[in-house]
Every structure is written in structure tokens, then in C-alpha cells.
Amino acid sequence: MTRETRTRRGFLAACAAATGSAVAGCSVATSDESDLDGGGGSQPASTTPEGSTESTVPAAVAGDQSYVAAYSAVEDSVARVRVYTANGTGGGTGWLYDEDHLVTNEHVVAGANDVYVRFPEGGWTRSEVVATDVYSDLAVLSPDSIPESATPLTLRREDPPVGTEVIAIGNPFQRTGSVSAGIVSGVDRTLRLPNDFSIPDAIQTDAAVNPGNSGGPLVALDGDVVGVINAGSGDNVGFAISAALTRRVVPSLIEVGDYEHSYMGIRLLSVDPLVAEANDVEQGVGVYVAQVVDGGPSDDVLQGSTGDTTVNGVSGVGTGGDVILAMDDTPIEQQEALSTFLALETSPGSTVDVTVLRDGREQTVELTLGSRPEPP
């Protein structure tokens, strides 16, 4: 653990001790776990032999201090990003990943001629774009200078439980240093990209996310980053690239300048009622291989649709394709599970055992993964 991490956790611990500890006469929640699970509920009042009285601080008010502590612990490490392109000016948010680098979204710096960043302490400073990855929508920046008050933030190792309280920090509509609060509404989401690929393992939140938040950190109340804010999608629905995926992509962007994503070369469909009836399989089990890309890793290994039929008046429902049930003994119940397995558990060149249902019979085939092609 670095000195910076110890300092941040020390700050959070001090704030918790000041506002949420069950010292004599205090009637609020005492643990970080309570905060993460939506705590702040009151406990029975306690007294001491000296006659200390019951706390007059409402539990809800004391619980709110967790947001204050989390924001105060990370705000100095979150920067505004300004981008100049041939078409004008844009921007978003970034946050300090290590002593030399910021993380933001690829779409924030796409097409940039010049990039500047500004931390809460200090003015604008020029920044180099170290590398970008369109398939994860992540980018790494290297500012010319970083203030001493900015310390690297910590990425959580696993997805947070649904219901975890979080804050989104960024610069929506150029309102610098804004924070919004919410919970983790869902995990293992898939974000569709305009290039026919997707970002797996995304985090869904109901914390307000608006233009300018892109690239900012989604932070749990313990100060850990649980995701990199990517997009808003209507009222009370925002998304972030998971910390788990960020932990895989960003080091490679820094060290070698790119990141290779595993690639199967197939087009998938959910096993919905129409597909299930057309192929005489149980609805909702596995994912259906609609097409295998010619010359791709799955060519001559997996089987796509060999025909089509009409089901309940709907024509063109594919038949004859494999239904993927598992990969390396990991159950694949839906497309999100397959995408997350590929992204977090494999690398290009890995050989995986794929269990499929083919022509009514379960069998296992070996598939050597390739790399996603260069984006168009």
C-alpha cells in the first residue's frame, strides 16, 4: 500500500470517527459496511457512568457525512479535461491513476489536437495523450505537471454489490468539481459500441451523469474507484466502465501503447422464445451462435445458423446454430456472461474449452482466441 493510499484511508477513517463512531452518547452506525450497504440507521442510545447524554445528531445527518468524507478524500485527484479539435472545443473529466498518468474516456480525447487538464489546485497544464482504446472507451493522459495535493486513486478489485452507495465526480456542463450521489443499480451490463462491438462488465448507477462527467471516477464511500463514468442513458440511468476492466486495460496502455481484446469471431443471439422454439432448446439457456465470421477464430470450430424458419408468424428465425452453454466450466447463461468471461478471464492466444449444444447433443470443442480487429 502506498503512502498516498494510507493517507486517503486515514482521512476517511478520521472523518468516520468524527461523524459516525459509536462513542459515548453517539447513536449512529459505526462501520464502513453499514455505509456501503445503505447504513446510517440509529442504534440504541448509550450512556456512561459519568452520565453522558444521548446524541442529538440525527442518524441520517451523520450518515450524510460519509459523502462529504469520500468527496474530500478524492477531489484533489480529479481534473477537468479540455480538448481542442479541428471541429471545436470539448472536454470531460479525468482522475489520477498513478504519479504520472490520468485516466479518462477515449471519446473525450478522440480527434484531439491539443489537450489541457486542470486540477482543483493550480491552473491549466498541457497534457499528452499516451494511448487510447476504443473498445473499452479508455484513454491515458500524461500532464506536464501534477500538483502535490493530487494523489493516485485506488481501483476496486471486484465489482461492488448492487446497492452500494457511490458518488460520481466530474464537470457536468463545465460545472467544475460537481458531485452526485446514488447507488450501484446493476453490474455486468453490456454497452453497445457504434462499431458493432461492446464494452462488457459495465456498472450501472442512478447517480446523475451528464455531459462533462465522462471519464470521471465513480467512487464508493470508502474512496475506491468502482468505475470510470462513460455515459448517461436517460433519467436515473448512468454507466461506468468497471474497475476490473480498467485494471486490465490501463497498465497495457501505459506500458505498450495499446491493449489486445480477446475475439471469437461470432455473432450471438439470446435464446429467446422464438430461438428456443425454432431450435428445440430450453428458453433462456446459453447463447445462440447466429453467425461465424469467415476466417475468424471460430471458423470450422463453432457452427452458425444453417437455415431459418418461421415461428409464431415471425420469419427468418435462425436454426442449426450452436448454443454455447459454458466456457472453461464457467456457465454462460446470457450474452453478458460470455462478454465478461472473455474480457476478464482470457487473453488473445488463449485456448478455451467451449461446451455447446449442437444438433441436440452436448459436446465440448477447443477454441483458440484471436484479437479484435482494428476498429474502422
* Distance separating alpha carbons of residues 153 and 149, to the nearest angstrom: 12
pLDDT of res. 25? 25
Pairing relation of β-strands 78-85 and 112-118? antiparallel
Q: What b/e sequence results for 66-96 when a residue is b if at least 16 CB atoms lie within 10 Å of its CB, and e otherwise?
A: bbebbbebbbbbbbbbbbeeeeeebbbbbbb
Q: Is 101 a catalytic residue?
A: no
* Distance separating alpha carbons of residues 74 and 71, to the nearest angstrom: 5
Range list of H helices, 267-359:
273-279, 335-345
* Distance separating alpha carbons of residues 131 and 115, to the nearest angstrom: 13
CATH superfamily of 262-371: PDZ domain (2.30.42.10)
- Which residue among the candidates 178, 185, 214, 305 is catalytic per the annotation? 214
pLDDT of res. 64? 60
* Distance separating alpha carbons of residues 8 and 69, to the nearest angstrom: 10
- Which residue among the candidates 35, 76, 137, 224 is catalytic per the annotation? 137
> Which one-letter DSSP state was computed for residue 372?
P
pLDDT of res. 42? 29
State pLDDT tens for residues 15-61: 433 333 322 222 222 223 222 222 223 233 333 333 333 333 334 33
Q: What are phi and psi of 278, to 5 degrees?
A: -65, -30
pLDDT of res. 26? 26
Q: Which residues of the chain have pLDDT under 70?
A: 1-64, 233-234
- How far is Cα of residue 58 from the mean position of the Cα atoms in its chain? 34
Range list of H helices, 23-97:
32-36, 59-74
Proportion of the chain above pLDDT 90, given as a percent: 73
pLDDT of res. 31? 29
* Distance separating alpha carbons of residues 341 and 344, to the nearest angstrom: 6
Quick check: 153 and 222 in contact, CB under 8 A? no
Q: Which of 189, 180, 219 is nearest to 35 (CA)?
A: 219
Residue 328's contacts (CB-CB under 8 Å, 6 or more residues apart) are: 341, 345, 352, 353
Angle, CA of 228, 344 and 253, to the nearest 5°: 55
* Distance separating alpha carbons of residues 62 and 23, to the nearest angstrom: 13
pLDDT of res. 174? 75
* Distance separating alpha carbons of residues 146 and 79, to the nearest angstrom: 10
Domain positions in the chain = 3-75, 262-371
**This model's pTM is above 0.85:** no
State pLDDT tens for residues 290-343: 999 999 999 999 999 999 999 999 999 999 999 999 999 999 999 999 999 999
H or E element, residue 219: strand 217-220
* Distance separating alpha carbons of residues 225 and 103, to the nearest angstrom: 12
